[in-house]
Amino acid sequence: MNSLPKINLDRLQATIDTMAGIGAKENGGCCRISLTDEDKLGRDQFVTWCREAGCGVHVDAFGNIFAIRAGSRPDNAVVLTGSHLDTQPNGGRLDGIYGVLAGLEVIRTLNDHGVRTERAIAVVNWTNEEGARLSPGLTGSSGYAGDLDLSLARRIVASDGARFGDELERIGYAGTFSRRALDPIAYVELHIEQGPVLEQHERTISVVEGVQGVRWYEVELRGSDRHAGTTPMADRQDSFMALARIAQSMRQAVLAIDPDVRFTVGRVSVQPGSPNTVPGFSSFSIDLRHQSTGLLNRIENVLAAKAHAIGIEEGVETAICRTMIVPPIEFDKSIVETVVSIAQSAGCPSMRMNSGAMHDACRLSKVTRTAMIFVPSRLGISHHEDEWTAPDDLEAGANVLLRTITSLADQTERQLNVVAAEDVISAHPRSLER
């Protein structure tokens, strides 16, 4: 491993700069929303680069692009890496893009130095990770993992009224490549942190051990509309005042249980919304995140108890409904330890953490052994034009990815403990399948 070459930072930065020019905004950000004309141009550029690097390029029915560098083994076992090329409307230059283009740089570096791995390496661009135009996000990776039926995905309606399936066909990325054509033995995703923790701890690499579980709730409070001037305070059933007390009480209770919990009230509705009417109905959303299912269950009970107790005191009816649940995800411990060892041997200050954001790796964890690597984000800024990571950190992350991917691609079957996939077919044709 120590004899492996290092990635070409100048080339990686030039590739990132070129991609950032597609959908570029005046203030340095990027708007390349999924399945738009800009997304097509970004995809086309990625395909061109991958072909130039000698990869076989394939597109599946969800629009996911797989660029495959053949290994020495004549089977379809492959180590996957990648992320997404789509952005938020006011996105930066690195969120998702860095993971895809660093994967391409890994392949270019191996080509430069004549390094051939035992197993194939594939760089993946997953479709519609962000979900900015077509909701929900993680569409491509969900489809690949079997969590989303193709017929349902094709009927997803965009914010502008277009349909997912129609837009895939319009931009020329409704492919036919079968997920059975690959036997993924591992997936490693490199990403900017999108938070401030690495920078605050002066670390270059985060070895991501898992992803927090997410639960969404809707809390409804029903009181009674009354005239704001004629109704004494003691006689009111004010749904908003109950809301304010409940939200604050919930936050205090949650933090008392565990300061690492993420508790967010992101949407509030007050009706009838008149300045001179005591609101009879109010509602608010809760986004709750933590790595422990048991602790999330405990907090859920506490939230319900707080809403009920304060509702009685304020004279309003309360109802709390869970609207979404995504269980916590633990990444593969052996790959995590491999990344830790590689970062240490490379002299990169590192730390372990859990991701607070969802990534395509969450879906891939159902399919194969999975892990993630983070590099710092300046001031923790992401989903914004000011998103930035120091070049030295981009280089370090890509070099750790290079060594991790190469290590996985050269491990033996005993080390991998992988069950052979069904319907083994070649994964290395050189033409673009669509």
- Interval 149-188: pLDDT, tens: 999 999 999 989 999 999 999 999 999 999 999 999 999 9
Q: Judge whether residue 433 has pLDDT over 70.
A: no
- Interval 52-72: pLDDT, tens: 999 999 999 999 999 999 999
Count the domains in the chain.
Answer: 2
310 and 347 part of one domain: no
44 and 170 part of one domain: yes
In this structure, is residue 343 part of a structural domain? yes
In this structure, is residue 33 part of a structural domain? yes
236 and 248 part of one domain: yes
CATH number for position 18: 3.40.630.10
65 and 180 part of one domain: yes
Give the residue from 326, 357, 382 where a domain finishes: 326
88 and 38 part of one domain: yes
- Interval 232-255: pLDDT, tens: 999 999 999 999 999 999 999 999
Q: Judge whether residue 97 has pLDDT over 70.
A: yes
- Interval 348-359: pLDDT, tens: 999 999 998 889
| This prediction's pTM | 0.85
337 and 317 part of one domain: no
Query: For residue 258, what pLDDT band results from cuts at 50, 70 and 90?
Result: very high
CATH number for position 242: 3.30.70.360
334 and 305 part of one domain: no
Give the residue from 293, 326, 359 where a domain finishes: 326
In this structure, is residue 354 part of a structural domain? yes
112 and 129 part of one domain: yes
Q: Judge whether residue 421 has pLDDT over 50.
A: no
256 and 176 part of one domain: no
In this structure, is residue 4 part of a structural domain? no
108 and 193 part of one domain: yes
Give the residue from 298, 326, 354 where a domain finishes: 326
Residue 256 lies in domain: 213-326
3-state secondary structure the chain: CCCCCCCCHHHHHHHHHHHHCCCECCCCCECCCCCCHHHHHHHHHHHHHHHHCCCEEEEECCCCEEEEECCCCCCCEEEEEEECCCCCCCECCCCCHHHHHHHHHHHHHHHHCCCCCCCEEEEEECCCCCCCCECCCCHHHHHHHCCCCHHHHHCCEECCCCEHHHHHHHCCCCCCECHHHCEEEEEEEEEECCCCHHHHCCCCEEEEEEECEEEEEEEEEECCCEECCCCCHHHCCCHHHHHHHHHHHHHHHHHHHCCCCEEECCCEEEECCCCCEECCEEEEEEEEEECCHHHHHHHHHHHHHHHHHHHHHHCCEEEEEEEEEECCEECCHHHHHHHHHHHHHCCCCEEEEEECCCCHHHHHCCCCCEEEEEECCHHHCCCCCCCCCCHHHHHHHHHHHHHHHHHHHCCCHHHHCCCCCCCCCCCCCCCCEC
Spatial neighbors of 367 by CB under 8 A, at least 6 apart, are: 144, 145, 146, 184, 187
In this structure, is residue 36 part of a structural domain? yes
Percentage of residues in the chain with pLDDT exceeding 70?
94
Give the amino acid at 428.
Answer: H
Average pLDDT over residues 4-31: 95
Say how far apart CA 258 and CA 246 lie, in whole Å.
19
Query: For residue 411, what pLDDT band results from cuts at 50, 70 and 90?
Result: confident
196 and 257 part of one domain: no
In this structure, is residue 422 part of a structural domain? no
In this structure, is residue 2 part of a structural domain? no
370: its two tokens: 């999975």
In this structure, is residue 266 part of a structural domain? yes
**Does the bond joining 196 to the residue before it have cis omega, within 30 degrees of 0?**
no
Percentage of residues in the chain with pLDDT exceeding 90?
89
198 and 234 part of one domain: no
Count of CB atoms within 10 A of residue 251's CB? Answer: 16
